[in-house]
Amino acid sequence: MATRHTTVRLPDALLKRVKTYAERQGLTVTAVMERALVAYVAGGAARGGYVLPPASTGEGITPGLSLDDNATIRDAMDGIR
């Protein structure tokens, strides 16, 4: 398949999350974005969105999650942490 170089403007925080995810998965940022776009165009984004991880185990907040840190919660939802 032919590819084309393009510029995409993303919020800094989102790009940081994409880079972190790509590094942890052993992928390039391009591969992560391509996979995400393919899934989105195929209707993956319409399947119900995120499933929230349990915030509590009955003993308080799940270790590693902070309700004061949205990035931590988003990473947990994305399976990064």
CB atoms under 10 Å from CB of 58, counted, come to 5
- Write down the pLDDT at residue 80: 62
Could you read off the pLDDT of 21-73 as tens digits, one per residue?
999 889 999 999 999 888 888 775 555 565 655 655 566 666 777 777 777 77
Tell me the pLDDT band of 20, cut-offs 50, 70 and 90: very high
Name the residue type at position 57: T
**Backbone dihedral region of 23: left (phi > 0), alpha (psi from -120 to 50 degrees) or beta?**
alpha
Q: What is the reported pTM?
A: 0.53
The full set of domain ranges for the chain reads 11-48, 50-81
What's the CA gap between 71 and 73, in Å, rounded? 5
Q: List all residues 6 or more positions away from 75 whose beta carbon is below 8 Å from its beta carbon.
A: 17, 20, 81
- Write down the pLDDT at residue 58: 65
Q: List all residues 6 or more positions away from 40 whose beta carbon is below 8 Å from its beta carbon.
A: none
Q: Is a pLDDT exceeding 60 seen at residue 81?
A: no
